[in-house]
Amino acid sequence: MQSLPIAHPDEGKGTTSVAAPSAYLTAVLCWLLSAGVYIAAKWAAPEMPPWALCFWRLTLACAILLPIVHRHHGAMIALLRSRALEVLMIGTIGLTLCQGMIYTGLSHTDATTAGIIMALSPVMTMVLARFVLGEPLGPWKALGALLSLVGMAVIVARGDLAALMRLQFSAGELWIVGSAICWGLYTVLLRRAKLGIELLPMVVLLLGAGALTALPFYLWELLSGERSSLHANGLLALAYVAGPGGALMYYLYNRSVETLGAGRASMLLYLQTVFVAILAYLFLGEGLHGYDLAGAAFIVAGLVLANAIRPKPRSARAA
């Protein structure tokens, strides 16, 4: 899902100046499969607690992908020997906490609402990059971030201004906001770390790290009596989030970065929100609420200001 590693800006360059249509189809399919995870998680919620789903998705996806990156096992082991704690921390934030919070939030809110809030993640990344990496924010980006945050507040308060003033928010939406913050921090830390190996092997390492740190949460659920009672729906959902929505989705993202470049591949993430809304309507019978539309309008306006408007370069003075 949205916790895909965003490649370093230099990755994925030098392939083709004009990408083939199949490259875009690969990226679109990636985000369609990612959107399906929201639907599967919502569908499996009555049969599988959130941290159990998080643990098994990460574990199975890592197991599926590990043989595919066998040529990189040496580099992966070397990275773990030198920077294991860093890999563990990034995997925990971006895969364990990000996904666990989404699955917890989906127990209390619609998949459509969750998808719209997660569209806020790039703005979170931009703001966090200002403080962690020292990247310039600029007035347009700052205004865009502010508008997007207003949109988030509208959705979290479910359009109730009185609830917003009293700081009374629904638990489900707050969990999703926490996930968006984790995704932004994860992306920034990953860019700063520059782990120095190819994208897909890095994904496998982070999946393994995420599964390792998800294990205590999963065991805590078991000790608390929240056990899985998987039937047909739960088993199908787990198979989807681990296979097509897990290993295959990560593999397709890697391919799209190779062919499109990291920037274009990542910008297509916004398709995920559209796909979530469509799939939630088709499979869950969800509809868009008025507060969803109002919040989405603010978020989209903020994204446009932050990404589409560029400051004009200053003209060089004549010598």
Q: What is the pLDDT of residue 317?
A: 45
This prediction's pTM: 0.82
Residues of the chain with pLDDT under 70: 1-19, 161, 163-169, 230, 262-267, 306-319
Closest to 2 (Cα-Cα) out of 122, 106, 132, 89: 122
Q: Three-state DSSP class for 162?
A: helix
Radius of gyration for the chain, computed over Cα atoms and rounded to the nearest angstrom: 20
Instruction: Report d(CA 258, CA 271) in Å as an integer.
Output: 19
Q: What is the pLDDT of residue 130?
A: 82
Q: What is the pLDDT of residue 58?
A: 96
CB 178 within 8 A of CB 136: no
Q: What is the pLDDT of residue 17?
A: 46
Closest to 254 (Cα-Cα) out of 27, 14, 8, 22: 27
Q: What is the pLDDT of residue 9?
A: 41
Q: What is the pLDDT of residue 205?
A: 96
Q: Three-state DSSP class for 234?
A: helix
